[in-house]
Chains A and B, each alone.
Chain A
Amino acid sequence: MKVKTPSKLEKILASGKMAVTSECGPPRGSDPDVIPHKAEKIRKHVDAINVTDNQTSMTRLCSLAACIRLKLMGVEPVLQMVTRDRNRIAIQSDILGAASFDINNILCLSGDHQSFGDCAQGQNVYDLDSMQLIQTVRHMRDEGKFLGGDPISRPPQMFVGAAENPFADPYEIRVPRLAKKIAAGVEFIQTQCIYNLDKFEDWMSKARDRGLTEQVYILAGVTPMKSAAMARYMKNKVPGMDVPEEVVKRLAGTPKEKQAEEGIKMCIESIQRLKEVKGLSGFHVMAIEWEEMVPEIVERAGLYPRPVVD
């Protein structure tokens, strides 16, 4: 697939090498050093860093400001944008704000419902959904126009991504949904974190059958488990998460002080197995509040050093 933007992430994916991305959560305050501090720990081991956007509807420092900070320190950011909190005016405006700092990657999301977060009494917006946000960014980039039709001076040059969850219900539309996002214009996908590798491989094979892996770069989401308790929590309390019983059992069978180490081992094993999946273009390592483990995971999974592109 041809390179269409100055995005470093796009260049690495287009070169045929496995890409590695990770994510940082912004603070619940205005401390300017939190994001740079987290990013420094992992910058040599990843190609780009996502900044989450008021994840689970908990109010945090905005993704845009954090991405600007990353850009200024020479790290490649991925701006995550949810449509829950912004109407189409704010969406286009924030995209231009990001583009003015040459932020070249955007992940288009609908966003968790506000009832999960700290402002459950607030309104939500959803003027657009994630599919329509993908269309909007492509329209602004490729046509150089606002949704209203006027031309944009210095249109954004963003590499457009979205999330997909192969484990959400109903399963039967998860590949058609991927096809739909590709038709809307998505260029890369980061999946929800994978514990059920069989199911993921099945989803990938169906995607391959439809030729979708030729049209989009797919990065497999992986998250190391810190403990058996975390595994159980994710299995039972997080919507759209598929954690097989063997995963919980394996951790539960490990003595408590060794569970984190076992979790890292399991994560690396998953990466090794997923590397063999045809059509997969990389990994999205999500180690929320455990960013210091990312370098070890990347190195032990044989994904270090990261390629250099100009």
Chain B
Amino acid sequence: MIVADKKPIEEIIDYVKDHQSILVLGCNECVTVCEAGGKKEVGLLASALRMHFLQQGREVNIGERTLERQCDHEYLEEIRTSVDNYEALVSLACGVGVQFTAEKYMNLPVYPGVNTLFMGANEMRGVWSERCQGCGQCLLGHSGGICPVSRCAKRILNGPCGGSTAGKCEISKEIPCGWQLIIDRLKALGRMDDYEKISPIKNWSTERSGGPRKVVREDLKL
């Protein structure tokens, strides 16, 4: 899932400080699961904003709504008429949702309420960590199911580097060395011989540096 984290309240207040009516729009999927932008977070942000404006002597109309997703036209259409009541919209969806909302409601200022970070998994309540960087050429079949692109700070394809210490990355004791994980897994699978296979130079053109990406499925287009 996409993992995001709440933006600091001061930043959001700075975006919306001059508006008289604001819609706080949440998303029921990824940001709900990582407790950054779901219905509850919408409620908390709206309450905080109301209290902020009250202290300034202003009664600002703060609307609250949570859509199933903000990355699909059908769901964004649900607020077609209600957006007319607002001067601005704070979207708590990931960067995708914020942009899709902005594209659809061209004349409405749309501000992000979360910082979108990565594609990752829920390790336990309150902890999410990165697993995938969307390189477009998945090599998990060769690395024992652990990704050197997203789990190694240097995305080394023939690791580990000389800084790996006690299974941790040289940059932080909180970060496991991706290559230690790969080696442990290759050992568990009895495939340590694979370790000496040299991973060739990667084709990065399907990654971000190749330009904004698109998937088109002709078999699905009407």
Contact = CB atoms under 8 A, between A and B. Distances in A.
B102 interface: no
Tell me the interface secondary structure of chain B in the complex: loop
Nearest to A169: B164
B201 A147 contact: yes
B64 to A, nearest CB: 36
- Best-buried of A84, A164, A176, A179 by chain B (most CB within 10 Å): A176
Interface stretch (B43-51, B80-88, B108-116, B152-160): B152-160
B165 interface: yes
B164 A170 contact: yes
A74 interface: no
Size class of the B contact interface (CB-based, 8 Å): 20 to 34
B154 A168 contact: no
A180 B160 contact: no
A131 B183 contact: no
B220 interface: no
A130 B157 CA distance: 9
B141 interface: no
Contacts of A110: 154, 156, 161
A183 B164 contact: no
A168 B163 CA distance: 6
Most chain A beta carbons < 10 A, residue from B167, B177, B195: B195
A163 B158 CA distance: 14
B152 to A, nearest CB: 9
A126 B204 CA distance: 11
B168 to A, nearest CB: 9
Nearest to B159: A129
Contacts of B171: 113, 115-116
Contacts of B177: 169
Given A113-B171, A126-B156, A168 B201 contact: no
A169 B165 contact: yes
Nearest to A127: B204
Interface of B: 153-167, 170-171, 177, 180, 183, 192, 195-196, 198-201, 204
7 contacts: A113-B153, A113-B154, A127-B204, A135-B198, A135-B201, A168-B164, A169-B167
